[in-house]
């Protein structure tokens, strides 16, 4: 990978750039954990995103993705409820006309 700060090519597992010392970040093995955290505790995912977006952009992004997965999940459930409700109303409307 390349350092975001100075642009030099560095080893993928570097936490700090050996050349300019910029913090690059994060332990990849933690990434799924942050995604799960963001998913289970969306508020924490959102807070972590804003706290980390500069220092740990990839972990922050994972936390944010977790947050959006959670939001999408609830929006999906809500949409299913609405569709279900409309379907029931529709079927009830048909039944009443018969
Ligand atoms: Zn650098």
Q: Smallest Cα–Cα separation from 61: which of 7, 8, 25?
A: 25
pLDDT tens sequence across 10-48: 888 777 888 898 877 655 455 688 888 888 898 999 998
Residue 19, classed as helix, strand or coil, is coil
Note if the pTM is more than 0.85: no
Q: Where are the domains of the chain?
A: 28-97
Neighbours of 81 (CB within 10 A): 10
Q: Mean pLDDT, to the nearest integer, of 3-12?
A: 86
The pLDDT-based confidence of 86 (bands split at 50, 70, 90) is: very high
Residue 74 has a pLDDT of 94
Ligand 1 centroid from CA 23, angstroms: 8
For 14, counting Cβ atoms within 10 Å of its Cβ (0-12 exposed, 13-18 middle, 19+ buried), the class is middle
pLDDT of residue 81 exceeding 90: yes
Ligand 1 centroid from CA 95, angstroms: 70
């Amino acid at each position: 990978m390349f350092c975001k700060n100075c642009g030099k090519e560095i080893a993928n597992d570097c936490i700090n750039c050996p050349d300019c010392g910029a913090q690059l970040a994060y332990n990849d093995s933690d990434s799924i954990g942050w995604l799960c955290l963001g998913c289970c505790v969306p508020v924490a995912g959102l807070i972590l995103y804003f706290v980390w977006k500069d220092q740990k952009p990839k972990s922050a992004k994972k936390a944010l993705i977790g947050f959006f997965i959670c939001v999408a999940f609830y929006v999906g459930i809500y949409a299913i409820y609405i569709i279900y409700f409309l379907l029931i109303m529709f079927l009830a409307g048909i039944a009443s006309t018969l």
